Amino acid sequence: MKKILVSGGAGFLGSHLCEELIRTGNDVLCVDNFFTGSKRNIAHLMTNPYFEVMRHDVTFPLYVEVEQIYNLACPASPVHYQFDPVQTTKTSVHGAINMLGLAKRLQARILQASTSEVYGDPEVHPQPEEYWGRVNPVGIRSCYDEGKRCAETLFFDYWRQHALLIKVVRIFNTYGPRMHPNDGRVVSNFIVQAIRGEDITIYGEGQQTRSFCYVDDLINVMVRMMNSPDDFTGPVNIGNPCEYTMLELAEMVLKLTGSTSKLVFKPLPSDDPKQRQPNIALAKEKLGWEPKVNLEDGLTRTIEYFKKELSL
| Mean pLDDT of the region 26-48 | 96
Q: What is the dihedral of CA 164, 289, 45, 301, to 10 degrees?
A: 150
Which DSSP letter does residue 269 get? P
Q: Answer whether CATH 3.90.1150.110 is correct for domain 3-176+213-241+277-292.
A: no
Strand duo 209-211 + 243-245: pairing: antiparallel
What are the backbone dihedrals phi and psi of residue 187, each rounded to the nearest 5 degrees, phi first?
A: -65, -50
144 is catalytic: yes
Q: Name, in order, each residue with C-beta under 8 angstroms of 138's C-beta and a sequence gap of 6 or more.
A: none
Which ranges of the chain does DSSP label H, i.e. alpha helix?
12-23, 39-42, 78-81, 85-106, 142-162, 186-196, 215-226, 246-257, 281-287, 295-311
Does the pLDDT value for residue 272 go beyond 80?
A: no
Rounded Cα distance between 53 and 27, Å, is 11
Does the pLDDT value for residue 260 go beyond 60?
A: yes
Which residue, among 278, 281, 207, 208, has the nearest Cα to 240 in the 3D structure?
278
pLDDT value, residue 243: 93
pLDDT band at residue 196 under the 50/70/90 scheme: very high
Domain ranges in the chain are: 3-176+213-241+277-292
Does the pLDDT value for residue 97 go beyond 90?
A: yes
Does the pLDDT value for residue 271 go beyond 70?
A: no
In the chain, what percentage of residues exceed pLDDT 70? 99
Confirm if 161 and 103 have CB atoms less than 8 A apart. no
pLDDT band at residue 47 under the 50/70/90 scheme: very high
Choosing from 144, 158, 175, 244, the catalytic residue is: 144
Which residue, among 188, 185, 186, 11, has the nearest Cα to 91 in the 3D structure?
11
Confirm if 111 and 225 have CB atoms less than 8 A apart. yes
pLDDT value, residue 100: 98
Q: What is the pLDDT of residues 235-251, one digit of tens each?
A: 999 999 999 999 999 99
DSSP 61-108: ------SEEEE--S--SHHHHTTSHHHHHHHHHHHHHHHHHHHHHHT-
Q: What is the pLDDT of residues 118-162, one digit of tens each?
A: 999 889 999 999 999 999 999 999 999 999 999 999 999 999 999
Q: What is the pTM of this model?
A: 0.94
Q: What is the pLDDT of residues 167-194, one digit of tens each?
A: 999 999 999 999 988 888 899 999 999 9
Q: Name, in order, each residue with C-beta under 8 angstroms of 92's C-beta and a sequence gap of 6 or more.
A: 74, 144, 147, 148, 150, 151
